[in-house]
Amino acid sequence: MPSTDASVEQRLRTAALELFAEQGYDATTVEAIAARAGVGRTTFFRTFDSKEAAVFPDHELVLEDVAARLRAAGPGGSRAAVVEAAMLVLSHYLADGEVARTRYRLTRTIPALRQREIAGLHRYQRLFGDFLNGPGADLVGAAPDADARQLRAEVAAAAIVTTHNHVLRRWLRHDLDDPSPVLERALDDVVDAIAVRPAEQRAAVLVVRSRADLDAALPEIRRVLGDP
C-alpha cells in the first residue's frame, strides 16, 4: 500500500484531476484513477458515487453549514442571514481555490460534469427558497396569499444564487481579486431590489413647508395617505 500519508479520498481526488488534465475526462477510466491513487477500483466506488463525484466538493457539508446559518436567524434577521449564508458558500469555494479553478475548467468543457454542477447549484436554490418561504423569514414581505409568497421566495432564492454564482465565476476567471466584498455589495443591491417589494413596504414622504403649522396639516395628510 503506497503513500498512506494523505487520506484515500484526497489521493483519489488529486489522481482524478491529474488524469483528467493529462488525458481528458472520457479517456480516463476509473481503474486508472484508482491505480494512480494506489487503491483498488472497488475502493473508488466505495468513496465516490460515480466517476464525476471525484471532481466535486462534498455539497452535503456546505449545505448543512448554510442551513445552520439560516436556522440561526432571529426575527428581522432574515436579510443578514441570507447574505451571510451566501457568503459562506463563497468562502467554501475560496477555501481551496486552486481546486475550484481546476474544476471550473473541467465543468466548462465536459457536458456530464457541467450537468452535475448545475444540478448541484439547484440544491442551494432550493435551500434558500425553503428558508425564505418558511415562517421564520420576513424578507419577502407580506404577500396576498401563500402561493404568491412562495413564488416570491423562489424568485428571491434564484436571484441570490445567481448573484453568488456571478461573482464566483468572475473570481474563477481572475476577473476579481477579492470577491467577498463584491459579493456583499451585490447581494445588498439585489436584495434591495428583489426581495422587498418597494411599492408595498416603502412610503415616500415629501415635506413641503408652508405657513400653516403641522397640527393643522396633519388631518389632511392622514386623508391623503388613506390612514385606516
Partner DNA sequence: GTTTCTGATGGTACTCAGTTCCACTGACAG
Partner DNA sequence: CTGTCAGTGGAACTGAGTACCATCAGAAAC
Q: Which does 51 bind (CB under 5 to 8 A by kind): a copy of itself, DNA, none?
A: DNA
Q: How many residues touch DNA (CB under 7 A)?
A: 19
Which of 145, 143, 157 has the alpha carbon at shortest distance from 78?
157
Q: State in angstroms the smallest separation of the CB of 35 from a copy of itself.
A: 28
**Which of 14, 43, 150, 180 is in the footprint of DNA by CB under 7 A?**
43
Dihedral of CA 86/92/94/100: which sign? Answer: negative
25 near 113, Cβ under 8 Å?
yes
Q: State in angstroms the smallest separation of the CB of 63 from DNA.
A: 21
Residue 63 touches DNA, criterion: CB under 7 A:
no
Residues 152-177 as b/e (b if ≥16 CB within 10 A, e otherwise) read bbbebbebbbebbbebbeebbeeebe
Residue 183 touches a copy of itself, criterion: CB under 8 A:
no
Q: Which does 198 bind (CB under 5 to 8 A by kind): DNA, a copy of itself, none?
A: a copy of itself
Residue 106 touches DNA, criterion: CB under 7 A:
no
Residue 155 touches a copy of itself, criterion: CB under 8 A:
yes
**Which of 204, 207, 214, 224 is in the footprint of a copy of itself by CB under 8 A?**
204
Q: Which does 119 bind (CB under 5 to 8 A by kind): a copy of itself, DNA, none?
A: a copy of itself
Grid look-up 466517476 returns: 51
Written as nine digits, the cell of 210 is 408652508
- Give the number of residues written for the chain: 228
Written as nine digits, the cell of 100 is 475550484
Grid look-up 403641522 returns: 214
Which of 25, 48, 44 has the alpha carbon at shortest distance from 36?
44
Q: Considering only residues 62 through 121, tell me which ones interact with a copy of itself, judged by CB under 8 A.
A: 114-116, 118-119
Residue 137 touches a copy of itself, criterion: CB under 8 A:
no
DSSP single-letter state for residue 54? G
Q: State in angstroms the smallest separation of the CB of 87 from a copy of itself.
A: 16
Residue 194 touches a copy of itself, criterion: CB under 8 A:
yes
58: Cβ contacts below 8 Å, ≥ 6 apart: none
Q: Which residues bind DNA (CB under 7 A)?
A: 1, 8, 28-31, 38-43, 45-47, 49-52
